[in-house]
Amino acid sequence: MTEANTIEAAALRDDRYRLLVESIVDYAIYMLDPEGRITSWNKGAQRFKGYSEAEILGQHFSRFYTDEDRATDLPGRALRIAATEGRFEQEGWRVRKDGSLMWAHVLIDPIRSDDGTLLGYAKVTRDLSERRAVQEALRQSEQRFRLLVQGVQDYAIYMLDPQGRVSSWNKGAQRFKGYTDDEIIGQHFSHFYTDEDQASGLPTRALQTAAREGRFEAEGWRVRKDGVRFWAHVVIDPIRGDHGELVGYAKITRDVTERRNAQQELEATRARFVQAQKMEAIGQLTGGVAHDFNNLLAVVLGNLALARKRLPPDPKLRQLIENSVQAAERGATLTKRMLAFARLQALTIGPIDVPELVRGMAELLQRSIGSTIPVSTQFPLQLPHAFADASQLELALLNLTVNARDAMPEGGTITIAAREERVGPEEIAGLAAGRYLCLSVIDTGVGMDERTLTQAVEPFFTTKGVGKGTGLGLSMIHGFAEQSGGRLHLTSTLGRGTTAELWLPAVEAGPAGDETDNQDPALPSLRAMTVLVVDDDPLVLMNTSAMLEDLGHSVLEASSGEQALRILRRSETIDLLITDQLMPGMTGTQLIEVLRAEHAGLPVILASGYAELPEDELAGLVRLGKPFQQADLARALVTSLRPEAQVLPFPGRPG
């Protein structure tokens, strides 16, 4: 190849390089002389910088730098670095012709001759403004997210590395757990688990579940730095890289102790409500059954009493009748217990000196439980009187003492104690605000588990063997306590005994009650009367009539309130009315209300075994409790005809 051809080929290559460089529009590629003046300018440079070739050639490249960079001689330093180190590379702000800024990536390479003489510089610039804007937006977003996470105080939000070590920590985590960043970062998150959970491997299983299933969620006890436990809701999510590799975990914890406590209280309240509904339903059933038994027993006892009067002189036959009477009376006692549970038993309420009552029962109590179990008492020197039915309280105390004995098959001790308690408004569920006397029977026996304790006051529930208990003792006491305005409270622990507390309204010390029943057992004699008897049960009706006729009175019978009114309206010879309470169509109190308007002076006896009667409608009435015997009926007749004894005291609370 000739020299001319070589020169021509070189020129052709230069033209091609020039065309290549000038056609590039995404990069500014231009030349600088050794002093930094621009000697070439491609289309990319014109697009980025805004200068045309005629405007910029011969100008110093420092005009593209900001005032701050020129003040620090960054352009001069860039050329010196490129000349001495063979390359200068940087990102920074550059200035366009219109004064706007762009974020540029700059590369400066020195250009030297074959002998190493510096001929100038090749400068390549790329506009990265859009990329930087995206990066800045991402950085700001991450910063805002970091501030958000750090600002959350109701949730513990932190990161774990793949091994479960804490790698970040927000303020909520510090508030819940008690650890500062310096104390916990780098530590394993199992620090927060209880010893039991750590021993079972729960922290490891939680991470494995999150990695395998994409999420782990649970509630459980966690431990603060000071050792206090709290109930936590925990969520663990795995964090994976661009290629699916596990890079760590995000863990969110919330302290839900208050919510759990509130939920447990709600459930306990709901359980108490359900229990109250169940007891109410059982009470209604029990009261209905007891009412029917009362009627039947009234018939049996009444007929036996009349039959006993007409017996021939046969000792064996009289013994059979007496045994039948005793059996019927035991049945009447059972119905009284059932009515007491149903809170339907009539009570004779008055102030009771509890220590004196216990002392009076000492011999009976000791004889009932045997001589091998000692009974001690603990009473303060000053103690208010209880306001209750003394005979029912004696029966309740006897039942509790016998139950305590039965709970100590290997022996033990029984303590009867009493104390005064004051209850504020809504302080104890079911108790009105006021003063109470709390009578306790404490044993050292086998105790009860939680399930047995919840069923203890249910009627017919017993842990004793077949034939050794009716299952009505505690239920009767429960009903008696609630009917008296108090409550029965049981506490027990297996192997450590039981404490039965009988809370009763308290009153100041006063007379122990009227001895209204201390009357001559002989039947009082009265003039012959015409008595109207009203009862929907034909057996009771016939029995009451028979007892009245045996006393020398004439009897008219009615099976309903409506029929009784018809008889009264057409007869002027009726001297007295005896009526049942629970009757279909018209109750006894409704009948009496009509009588007060039409026959105001007619004496009335209300015969019923129920206590829950409208007391404002009972004024001026004599009440005869079922089942009653002929002597009870005769005394009620006398009382009803005595004007000064018309109004009898009825059960109620003080004040």
pLDDT of res. 519? 40
Give 104 or 11, the one with higher predicted confidence. 104
Report whether 95 contacts 64 (CB < 8 A): yes
pLDDT of res. 471? 47
Give 478 or 538, the one with higher predicted confidence. 538
pLDDT of res. 141? 59
pLDDT of res. 337? 56
pLDDT of res. 615? 55
Domain boundaries, the chain: 3-130, 152-255, 265-336, 349-507, 530-645
Superfamily for the 3-130 domain: PAS domain (3.30.450.20)
Is the predicted pLDDT of residue 172 greater than 90, yes or no? no
The string of pLDDT tens digits covering residues 579-606 is: 988 888 898 889 988 988 888 888 999 9
Instruction: Supply the CATH classification number for the domain 530-645.
Output: 3.40.50.2300
Rg (CA), the chain: 51
Residue 558: its H or E element = strand 554-558
The string of pLDDT tens digits covering residues 138-156 is: 666 556 655 555 555 668 8
Give the C-alpha distances (Å, rounded to integers) separating 593 from 6, 378, 541, 649. Answer: 141, 50, 21, 19
Phi-psi region of 513 (alpha: psi -120 to 50; beta: other; left: phi over 0): left
pLDDT of res. 452? 73
**Amino acid identity at 350:** G
Do 3-130 and 349-507 come out as alike in CATH topology? no
pLDDT of res. 582? 81
Is the predicted pLDDT of residue 644 greater than 50, yes or no? no
pLDDT of res. 165? 93
**Buried b vs exposed e over 333-370: b needs ≥16 C-beta within 10 Å?**
ebbbbbbbbbbbbbbbbbbbbbbebbeebeeebeeebe
Measure the CA–CA gap between 89 and 396, rounded to whole angstroms.
100
pLDDT of res. 446? 85
Question: What class is the 349-507 domain?
Answer: alpha beta
Nearest to 172 by CA among 150, 148, 145: 150
Q: Please compute the mean of the pLDDT values over residues 636-643 and round it to a whole number.
A: 79
Structure confidence at residue 25 as a pLDDT band (50, 70, 90): low
Burial class (CB in 10 A: 0-12, 13-18, 19+), 591: buried
Measure the CA–CA gap between 509 and 581, rounded to whole angstroms.
35
Is the predicted pLDDT of residue 171 greater than 90, yes or no? no
| Least confident window among 149-153, 205-209, 549-553 | 149-153
The fold for domain 152-255 equals Beta-Lactamase (3.30.450)
The string of pLDDT tens digits covering residues 294-338 is: 667 777 777 777 777 777 777 777 777 777 777 777 666 666 655
The string of pLDDT tens digits covering residues 449-469 is: 887 777 666 654 555 543 344
